[in-house]
Amino acid sequence: MKKLMIIGASGHGKVIEDIARLNGYQKITYLDDRWEELKMLGMNVLGKCSAIPLYINEYQFAIGIGNNLIRKKYYDIIHEKNGDMPILIHPNAVVSSNVKLEAGTCVMANAVISTGCEIGKACVINTAATIDHECKLDNCVHISPGVHLAGNVSVGELSWIGIGSCVIQGIVIGKYCIVGAGAVVIRKVSDNTNVVGNPAQILK
């Protein structure tokens, strides 16, 4: 029996549950710090997130948390305990056969990842996002719904690309950046920078 434990039982976690079921997982449970409240609502929540070590040999793990820093925290905990974090891909996503995906990454419905892309650990490629040829995403990047990355775009660790934003070909977005919803990125974004607008400008 394929068994998956999802860390985080809010909306993002429920989307991952749906993808997992479509990938043949038969037993799906959660850990969440609001576990008592959620259990009363009928969710299959076994305890707080701190209980990860108790289940490390019993389940595979997925992290149902959109926030990059928190997702990285739990990725690191599971990795240090030698836990198994599968790559989860919705059946309606299109992923080229030579794309490199790393542990803990989730690709949502109708996303497209084109040839030659490299996607790091614990990334989120959200609903209907498109990532064109030879893009590189570092670990714990979140590509929000409806984002479009043109070819050869690079996104650094822990950066968040907001819903509906577009990035033109060859652009480098650094580490720890936020690209605001609907932004159009036409020039390099340095580390630790937030940009918004069309064309994207630094948010001061």
Binding-site positions for substrate: 10-12, 32-33, 66
pLDDT of residue 1: 83
pLDDT of residue 45: 85
Residues 22/24/26/31 CA torsion (nearest 10 deg): -60
Fold of 3-80: Rossmann fold (3.40.50)
pLDDT of residue 40: 62
Binding-site positions for acetyl-CoA: 142, 163
Comparing CA positions, the residue from 128, 107, 146, 136 lying closest to residue 18 is 107
Active-site annotation holds for 133: yes
Fold of 87-194: UDP N-Acetylglucosamine Acyltransferase; domain 1 (2.160.10)
pLDDT along the chain (204 residues), means of 10: 94 96 96 77 82 96 97 97 97 98 98 98 99 98 99 98 98 98 98 97 87
Query: Considering 79, 90, 133, 148, which one is annotated as catalytic?
Result: 133
Q: Where are the domains of the chain?
A: 3-80, 87-194
